[in-house]
Structures are given as structure tokens and as C-alpha cells.
Amino acid sequence: MSRWWIWLVVVFLVIGLLFLNRAHFGVIVLHYHAINDRTGKEEIIAVRPEDFAWHMEYLKKAGYNVIPLKQAVEYLSEGTELPRKAVTISFDDGYMDNYKNAFPILKKHNYPATVFVATGEVGGINRWDLGRGFAELALMDWDQIITLEEKGIAVMPHTVHHVDLTTVSKVRRKEEINLSKKVLEDHLGREVTYFSYPDSGVNDEVVAEVKKAGFGAAFTSSFGTNVYKKADLYRIRRMPVKEIHKGFWGRLLFVIELKLCSLYPF
């Protein structure tokens, strides 16, 4: 009897794994920050280059289709067709290691991606993190940002000074949103239509201001997939990828979370 139950459990596990491997709803937005080998507190937001390379290779081997963020938003807003197992890649903050470490790996696979930058901190350091015990990390300058744009990596705003928009005054909130859009458009010579909330700081007032500024979509750090007619275009979910996704067990966690993310929420 006990052996029968063991086999029954095994059968259900196999069926479950097959289902997870095949099932994929909507589009997943991967959410990275820094890509470096640093140690210390800042590694909380960092992924090692070798792990990032493994993640990108896994997407290819597992049959995921990496699409531009624009295609993902068009699907969410209009219901346009997506390729099977659609994934898009995003980075927040605009660290220089995105340019030096991540971009060559993306280029190798011909993967599109989007980087959200704090426009008032371009060419500087991550000042917003220093008070929390993080080490200094260099940010991309305008030449590097424009180079990424020319090579097919989209760049979008992440406020001016990387502030939590739920904690500042209405005047400051409006300035951080509107000025980040204007500055980036002036440098890139094109309209920027997507926005990312620093520290996932979003509420109804913030969403209203983002809409008023003319953005067509905005991104949070909330875990989950995004499905047409069910996703909020101004609270688009992402799958955070951080230092916990390093090494053998971290890579296994990445695989499991990627599958679970495609099933949540409905």
C-alpha cells in the first residue's frame, strides 16, 4: 500500500512538472539591477556576470522567446499575438556594469532589453543607496546610454533622482516624473513612453501623475506574469532577479521562479 502511494505521488509530480514546463501565460518581465562581482551589501541588488550569462543561455535552451518591451506592452494594451513563452528583460537604475557586463551577453544572443535610468544621476553614482550602507556603484554616462540605444537596447526614465514617489510632495512628484521624461527625450531625440517606479513606490496618486505625464505604461517590482485584459498597464509586474539567483541552487531557483511566475496571478 505504501509503495502504491509513493508511485502515485511520483506520477502526480511528473505530470505537474510537465504541465509547468508547457504552461506559460502572458508575458514575463525579468527585473535586474547591477551585473557585477562585487561583495558586500550591494550584492543584494547584483547578479554575477557568469550567472547572468547562464540565465540568458537558459532562456534560449528552454525555448523562451525574448521580445522587446514595446511588443509586450502592445500585447497587454491591444491583445496582439505573442510568441510562445514570451519574456522581456529590464534593468533598473542604469549601472555602468549594465553597459560593460550585461550588454555583451545580450548582444551575443541578440536579445532586446530595456534599461530604466535616473536621469539626474547619469554619469554619477548610486547616491540614493549610500545612506543604507551600500558601496558606490558607477552609473552609465550619456555617451554609453546613447550607444545602447543605437545598438537596440531601449532606455526609459526611472525618475530624476531615484526617489520613492509615494514619500515626496506633490510638486516634487510631478517634477521627478515629468522632468525625467523631458531630459531623456532631449538626449535621445525620441519620445519615451514607459516608466519604472523606484523602490516599487506606487499608489493611485503616483499612477495618476504618470498617466498625466503621457506615459503609456509603468513597471513595478511585484512578482508575477502579465496577461491581456487582466494586467494593469500602470502596475505591470516583473520577476526580480538578484544575488539569490547565483550558483547551482540560485540558478535552479531562477528556473523554478520563471515557471511559477508564468502562472501567477490569474
User: pLDDT by residue (tens digit) across 43-62?
Assistant: 568 999 999 999 999 999 99
Which pLDDT score, from 0 to 100, does residue 11 have? 46
- pLDDT score of 134: 83
Confidence of residue 82 (pLDDT cuts 50, 70, 90): very high
Q: What residues does 93 pair with on adjacent strands?
A: 117
* Whole-Å CA distances, 262 to 180, 254, 266: 31, 12, 10
Report the DSSP pairing between strands 65-66 and 194-196. Answer: unpaired
Q: To which residue does cell 512628484 refer?
A: 173
What is the predicted pLDDT for the residue at 263? 80
pLDDT digits (tens, 9 = 90+) for 94-128: 999 999 999 999 999 999 999 999 999 999 999 99
- What mean pLDDT comes out for the span 174-181? 98
pLDDT score at 18? 45
pLDDT confidence band for 262 (50 / 70 / 90): confident
Instruction: Please tell me the distance from the alpha carbon of residue 80 to that of residue 64, in angstroms, as a whole number.
Output: 18
The pLDDT score that the predictor gives to residue 261 is 86
**What does the block give as the cell for 204?**
493611485
Phi and psi torsions of 80, nearest 5°: -65, 155
Which residues are CB-neighbours of 20 under 8 A, at least 6 positions away? Answer: 259, 260, 263
Q: How far apart are CA 131 and CA 163, in angstroms?
A: 13
The CATH homologous superfamily of the domain defined by 26-261: Glycoside hydrolase/deacetylase (3.20.20.370)
C-alpha dist (Å) from residue 11 to 4, 22, 23, 139, 244: 11, 17, 18, 50, 31
The rounded distance, in Å, linking the Cα atoms of 182 and 142 is 15
The predicted-structure confidence for 2-31, as pLDDT tens digits, reads as follows: 555 555 554 444 445 445 555 568 999 999
Q: How does pLDDT run across 184-217, given as a tens digit for each residue?
A: 999 999 999 999 999 989 999 999 999 999 999 9
Confirm if 210 and 218 have CB atoms less than 8 A apart: yes
Q: Give the whole-number percent of the chain exceeding pLDDT 70.
A: 88
104: Cα separation from own chain's centroid: 18
More confident position, 114 or 132: 114
Please give the Cα distance from 145 to 117 (Å, whole number): 9
What is the DSSP code string of 69-99? Answer: HHHHHHHHHH-----TTEEEEEEEE-BHHII
Q: In residues, how long is the chain? A: 266
CA-based end-to-end distance of the chain: 37
* pLDDT of 132 over the 90 cut: no
Place of cell 516599487: 200
Tell me the one-letter amino acid at 66: V
pTM of the prediction?
0.90
Q: Which of 34, 28, 58 is nearest to 140 (CA)?
A: 34
pLDDT tens, 227-237? 999 999 999 99
* Type and span of the H or E element at 46: strand 46-47
Phi-psi region of 45 (alpha: psi -120 to 50; beta: other; left: phi over 0): alpha
Cβ atoms of 68 and 89 closer than 8 Å: no
Q: What is the pLDDT of residue 66?
A: 98
| Mean pLDDT of the residues in the chain | 90
Q: What is the pLDDT of residues 140-160, one digit of tens each?
A: 999 999 999 999 999 999 999
Query: Hey, where are the domains in the chain?
Result: 26-261
**Distance in angstroms (rounded) separating the CA atoms of residues 232 and 152:** 26
